């Protein structure tokens, strides 16, 4: 999913299948100039609806602890932190959300 304005990419995100019924949110980004204007929420909501349409019931994601705005977004949209770990040599927080039964 890509959000663009006049050919300029403002925001993006993707789904990656993990196993039947489970997908991972990847590459959630909003250009710094456009952060705080709801584009991340729009991308996240679209990806959740797409995940449901594709038959996924659980979404997973990871982010680094210093991504405070992203963490806040994920929590307000119903994601629950499930643990911590290391991803690509970076401390990471793991989140999960049930989007369908």
- Can you tell me the distance from the alpha carbon of 63 to that of 91, in angstroms, rounded to the nearest whole number? 8
What is the per-residue pLDDT for 91?
97
- The model carries a pTM of 0.91
The DSSP bridge partners found for residue 95 are 61, 81
Q: What are the strands, taking DSSP E only, across 1-101?
A: 2-5, 8-19, 22-30, 58-63, 80-87, 90-98
In this predicted model, what pLDDT tens digit does every residue of 28-79 receive, in sequence order? 999 889 888 999 999 999 999 999 999 999 999 999 999 999 999 999 999 9
Query: DSSP character for 38?
Result: S
Rounded to 10°, the helix 68-76/39-53 angle is 50
- In the numeric block, which tokens belong to residue 95? 């989140």
Domains observed in the chain: 9-98 (3.40.630.30)
């Amino acid at each position: 999913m890509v959000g663009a304005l006049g050919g300029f990419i403002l925001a993006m995100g993707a789904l990656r299948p993990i196993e039947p019924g489970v997908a991972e949110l990847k590459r959630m980004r909003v250009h710094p100039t456009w952060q705080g204007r709801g584009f991340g929420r729009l991308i996240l909501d679209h990806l959740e609806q797409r995940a449901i349409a594709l038959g996924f019931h659980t979404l997973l994601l990871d982010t680094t602890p210093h991504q405070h705005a992203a963490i806040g977004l994920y929590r307000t949209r119903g994601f629950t932190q499930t643990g911590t770990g290391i991803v690509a040599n970076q401390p990471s927080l793991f989140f999960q959300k049930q989007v369908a039964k």
